[in-house]
Structure 1
């Protein structure tokens, strides 16, 4: 399938991420741009909660179930809101259609340039990602489809008998499974389309909403926010090529909208489009959506919003102190005073986050180099975006002159500081600050565009204001002032064009290169012949049987392509069962090893898929079997051969 053929499917994915949440956001009193931008948060929260509840109640996971839940919520909310509409606060005033139109124009530009970057890096929707984590994410979706259980507490079992249950952020996988069931796409195609749609729809909408809360209903500001939303390489593009970190992509894509709501809570939004009461009502949805998308999205929000929250507490405390209410003032000031010692006790001393904090990716550059990368957007050795870097600095200076926006500069500095700690500081204690992100410089760099985009927009506005002031100065003729006034109508398209020309199409080639790291075109892990064999396995094997394979040769993709269970569906072998370990060592000796035979029979391991894997390690039992071992070859593609396991399935019919 080519991307052009997949356009209707991509549009369907975009609608599924927004449309189900619109009745709820509308009934809450949100209108137009704000209602649309917050709908993906509602969709994500409802989907993940439905998945957990359905698992507990033994209800099969399906699109119909989710549709009924959305309809039920809208009905209940309507029954509450409609009778009380005269007593409830009025609906938030929707922005004018010219403001909405400017936002749509900016978003359309971002989508078109983003689609170009995708086309230059990913051949088609069904192209396999070939990174360490991709097999887990693919097969987690396949496992949901097989078991009809999408709970975040069941997803990491991957259908392996005996594997312990645990929490894993499942929002992306839940959405992916629904998309497969609705669209009929393959798992790899659904994964690619869902991730691209999150990057080009959910994230830009959140960026525009955040800018709306910072700048008010400004056509220029919102149009620029939409256009620049995909201009920074560290996010969303790095998340499409590093890891691969699709759950992180979803979680961070929701953070700008959460930050916009937090501006309402702290009363720091300019001409608030959400409303403080509605922001509080949506707080549980934000918490659920961000946590089950990826927990470090919540931590990212907390880190960036720390100056904003402190400013809100400080203002509220000061107001009460001046009013003579000393006790409430002291209570509101307490979080500011106690934040550091509480953090030390909970994070460092309690050991609650010991496992998370133990991860440590080593620094790879000097602190000065890391600072330079954070300033220029050249994080992790990528290309620098000089024009955007200058605009961010100009925007930071402009914000610092406005007391109400200084928190934005501080939030950006926190993100930059965390990246510098991870990438360039040789200090063991850095993990107490960076451990929530596994001290991974890629995950930390992804936070920079959250504040970098509004700072860049404010930088452009500052430059435009300076140019206008210069053109309108008293030293110029009245004719020139008149010309400048008439030209205001074309400011937005002119600025768009200048940005595109000065940044090489908003750094589209850098974005392509970032994504390409997960989609190798030279010497891929699986070639076309092997890919075709993997797909044929659905015809060569029976449902309910398990295909044994070695996880490091690309073979876990079989489960994603065919929904046939594989014995090793992911690369993380830290939680293997004793049965899996024994078969990994001895399966190709099943004809002479009674224990291997018994385990294979009990687990329904009926097939062996292997290629020329190295000997002398855990996987010796999955190598090519000896001619005398009784295995019968039934298919081949490239270096891979598919065998029928002997003896352990005597009662099974011969495969055709």
Structure 2
């Protein structure tokens, strides 16, 4: 399948990802860029929360519950707005047709988003190669099988997804990304790998730049230049979104970080720090609360990032509130209110910080560099030892100077310094309790914190671009008459935006693309799933009945029989525990003809087929199961099919 052939499915994915959120956001009263940027975050919340609710009331997760949940939520919002407006203004709420934005604003928005979408789409297609390719990485075994699990079982709740067991209890895993992709695969019938790549493309090329543009608008108001520069910069950072397509693979983090700029923008709006009159504080609060649920269920660590990034704006709000008290000559006692709010926030945040975090065993990632080098990498947005984009570095430096000189959005610099500080700690500090306290929330993993750097850096860099534009405008005003023509402004803007877009696509991004593309290469020796293994999986349904459970070693990629062949895997994911009959099978299968315990275990599992993908395991693992060794020489097994070194056996000893 080519990418062009996926066009109808891309349209379906667009409808799934944006329409529910657009409906709810409009019901809330959002419009303009806020409305468009709110669409995906609200859809993710509707989907992820809806999947939890559907499971609680024993309804299978599919498009129908999402539509129902969207309609119910929107109707409730409209009714509440009607009652609130009627009581506050003593008149009923009326629908009004508001004038469209000026053509110039619409064009600037379209150009900005178009540049970002084009750059990121081209990069993404070059990374994946084919829409059918999968990421040959450790975590992808779980991700792909979790999607199949949701489609087959109808259970998409994040509260139980972790075990991939339809009869299991509480086993939390953030399932927002899986819920959305399962909707696409289940409603269109396309394969899970294709669904994954289409949805990830839209997240990277649309959701991320829309959120970044909205955040920049909250900082700089309705000025068009910084929004357009943001579009040019959306594909300029090696650590996001490209790194999330290479490492892990961290698809939930890809989604959650793409949602983070919108959530941070709503924090700014709620605190009254935005430079635009919209959204009103109440609307911002509602959008933040609703989108925050989806953010947390996309990945809790990114919700914790928002909690950290909210501290500088909250401090700015406290100072502004105290200043207002002094100017209005109110009693000094009014100062206590913002201070109490701030103290309460810090107290609650600290409790969450020390309570909701991965185990120490899971947070094993070591530091990767020295503190001075980590400092340089963070400030230049070139983490993980990557190449420096001098254009990004220049714009960032100019942005810092601009914000300080204009005394504008100091909270933004605070967020920028916090993101840099967290990366410096995780990348350069020694592996001790101090480091774990600050970065254990992100598994002490420098990759995850590297991916967060662009969320604030893109706003700072766009501020640098705005400084350049303002400087050119001043030169124009003092120049000769012909330079004051409108066409000169249009050309100058086009040159500025084009230059940023072109020069940011240098060695840094090219290297990130090449590195990510290696994870999607399908060859005869691919680390997780080779061409022979994929060929065997593609024709497995000719040999294995639908209700059978295939014996597998997930470390070799054999458990992808579930996602790709739609046949149950005995061990569905790397790290899934084997107990009882399953433990007997994986330890003793090659002794089925002589060990009397094996056949009863196979009967209990309805498991008489086994995949042998050889000894190669992901991440150079050595987790081989004793019972799956040397199956070719074992008695009581029959070779049913093979492609190269990939083999499918049937157990005959129990007939």
What TM-score comes out, normalization by structure 1 length?
0.91
Provide the residue aligned with 1:237 in structure 2. Answer: 242
Q: 1:587 aligns with which of 589, 596, 599?
A: 589
Q: How does 1:379-390 map to 2 (within 5 A)?
A: 379-390=383-394
Task: Indicate conservation of the 8 Å contact 1:248/1:297, yes or no.
Answer: yes
Q: How does 1:453-532 map to 2 (within 5 A)?
A: 453-473=458-478, 476=479, 478-479=480-481, 481-482=483-484, 486-504=487-505, 508-520=509-521, 523-525=525-527, 526-532=529-535
The answer to whether 1:258 aligns with 2:263 is yes
Q: How does 1:127-526 map to 2 (within 5 A)?
A: 127-159=133-165, 165-320=170-325, 323-336=329-342, 347=353, 353=357, 355=359, 359-426=363-430, 428=432, 429-473=434-478, 476=479, 478-479=480-481, 481-482=483-484, 486-504=487-505, 508-520=509-521, 523-525=525-527, 526=529
Residues 201-221 of structure 1 show CA distances to partners (whole Å, capped at 9, x for unaligned) of 111111111112111122222
Distance 1:339 1:262, change over 3 A: closer
Q: Quote how far apart the aligned CAs of 1:446 are.
A: 1.1
Task: Indicate conservation of the 8 Å contact 2:133/2:521, yes or no.
Answer: no
Residues 512-564 of structure 1 show CA distances to partners (whole Å, capped at 9, x for unaligned) of 12422421356412332221101111222111211011111121221111221
Runs (5+) with no aligned partner, structure 1: 651-656
Provide the residue aligned with 1:598 in structure 2. Answer: 600
Residues 214-269 of structure 1 show CA distances to partners (whole Å, capped at 9, x for unaligned) of 11122222222222222211111111111100011111111111111111111111
Distance 1:4 1:645, change over 3 A: same
Task: Indicate conservation of the 8 Å contact 2:552/2:611, yes or no.
Answer: yes
Q: Secondary structure at the match of 2:359?
A: helix
Q: Quote how far apart the aligned CAs of 1:271 are.
A: 1.9
Q: How many residues align?
A: 641
> Which deviates more from structure 2 when the two are superposed, residues 136-145 or residues 13-22?
13-22
Please give the alpha-carbon distance, in whole angstroms, between the structure 1 residues aligned to 2:632 and 2:132. Answer: 35
Q: Quote how far apart the aligned CAs of 1:508 are.
A: 4.7
Residues 288-331 of structure 1 show CA distances to partners (whole Å, capped at 9, x for unaligned) of 11110100111111222210112113322443466434444223
Q: Quote how far apart the aligned CAs of 1:159 are.
A: 3.2
Q: Secondary structure at the match of 1:35?
A: helix
Q: Quote how far apart the aligned CAs of 1:398 are.
A: 0.7
What TM-score comes out, normalization by structure 2 length?
0.92
The answer to whether 1:551 aligns with 2:554 is yes
The answer to whether 1:18 aligns with 2:18 is yes
Distance 1:436 1:357, change over 3 A: farther
Distance 1:287 1:497, change over 3 A: closer
Please give the alpha-carbon distance, in whole angstroms, between the structure 2 residues aligned to 1:509 and 1:245. Answer: 20
Please, what is the CA RMSD of the aligned residues?
2.6
Distance 1:226 1:356, change over 3 A: farther
Distance 1:345 1:634, change over 3 A: closer
Provide the residue aligned with 1:104 in structure 2. Answer: 110
Distance 1:342 1:207, change over 3 A: closer
Task: Indicate conservation of the 8 Å contact 1:548/1:608, yes or no.
Answer: yes
The answer to whether 1:69 aligns with 2:69 is yes
Please give the alpha-carbon distance, in whole angstroms, between the structure 2 residues aligned to 1:202 and 1:74. Answer: 22
Provide the residue aligned with 1:566 in structure 2. Answer: 569
Q: Quote how far apart the aligned CAs of 1:75 are.
A: 3.3
Q: Quote how far apart the aligned CAs of 1:618 are.
A: 5.1
Distance 1:354 1:2, change over 3 A: closer
Q: Secondary structure at the match of 1:5?
A: helix
Please give the alpha-carbon distance, in whole angstroms, between the structure 2 residues aligned to 1:510 and 1:342. Answer: 41
Q: Quote how far apart the aligned CAs of 1:344 are.
A: 6.1
Distance 1:506 1:469, change over 3 A: farther
Please give the alpha-carbon distance, in whole angstroms, between the structure 2 residues aligned to 1:280 and 1:120. Answer: 39
Task: Indicate conservation of the 8 Å contact 2:144/2:563, yes or no.
Answer: yes
Q: Quote how far apart the aligned CAs of 1:33 are.
A: 2.3
Task: Indicate conservation of the 8 Å contact 1:394/1:462, yes or no.
Answer: yes
Q: Quote how far apart the aligned CAs of 1:502 are.
A: 2.4
Please give the alpha-carbon distance, in whole angstroms, between the structure 2 residues aligned to 1:343 and 1:112. Answer: 39
Runs (5+) with no aligned partner, structure 2: none
Provide the residue aligned with 1:654 in structure 2. Answer: none
Please give the alpha-carbon distance, in whole angstroms, between the structure 1 residues aligned to 2:357 and 2:333. Answer: 34
Residues 479-514 of structure 1 show CA distances to partners (whole Å, capped at 9, x for unaligned) of 36535x641123332212212332347965234124
Residues 459-484 of structure 1 show CA distances to partners (whole Å, capped at 9, x for unaligned) of 011012223323444xx5x336535x
> Which deviates more from structure 2 when the two are superposed, residues 273-282 or residues 70-79?
70-79
Task: Indicate conservation of the 8 Å contact 1:95/1:217, yes or no.
Answer: no
